[in-house]
Amino acid sequence: MKWQQVQDGPSAVYVVVLDPGEDPVAELTAFARDRSLGASQVTALGAFSRAVVGWFDRQAKDYRPIPVEQQCEVLSLIGDVAVADDGPTPHLHAVLGLSDGSTRGGHLLSGRVWPTLEVVVRDSPAELAKTHRPDIGLALIDPG
């Protein structure tokens, strides 16, 4: 992973480029924690050699994994970073384009970058906290 800060100030903007084989969830989590991001917006595009997205099952209060075991284009990856119990945590959703033109999408659980993933992270001076909601089964942003 390589990154460059392209805007200074309380609303910093970073460009993060992931290398082949890297897992975007792990890398963006490490980046967010290294930079102490507290309320950020994430957008990206690129491609994966494989990925797993998830669909949230309300009854089970857990994600059902949807494996994508082929090269796919990251048509859209959007998300946020907020502070959870264990530190800044990205929440990412992806739409992946397959070779036949179909798509798979959902919560990004994992992926393997190939050949690149180009990410823009827009931070803000605020801090948003995620609070675990046992009734739902997720940690959600609590705006105050």
Lowest-pLDDT choice from 59-73, 90-104, 106-120, 127-141: 127-141
DSSP strand pairing (103-123 vs 39-57): antiparallel
Q: What is the pLDDT of residue 100?
A: 98
Q: What is the pLDDT of residue 69?
A: 98
- Mean pLDDT over each residue of the chain, to the nearest integer: 96
Q: What is the 3-state secondary structure (H, E, C) of the chain?
A: CEEEEEECCCCCEEEEEECCCCCHHHHHHHHHHHCCCCEEEEEEEEEEEEEEEEEEECCCCEEEEEEECCCEEEEEEEEEEEEECCEEEEEEEEEEECCCCCEEEEEEEEEEEEEEEEEEEEECCCCCEEEEECCCCEEEEECC
Q: What is the pLDDT of residue 20?
A: 98
47 pLDDT band, cuts 50/70/90, is: very high
55 pLDDT band, cuts 50/70/90, is: very high
The model carries a pTM of 0.94
In single-letter form, the type of residue at position 76 comes to S
75-98 pLDDT, tens digit each: 999 999 999 999 999 999 999 999
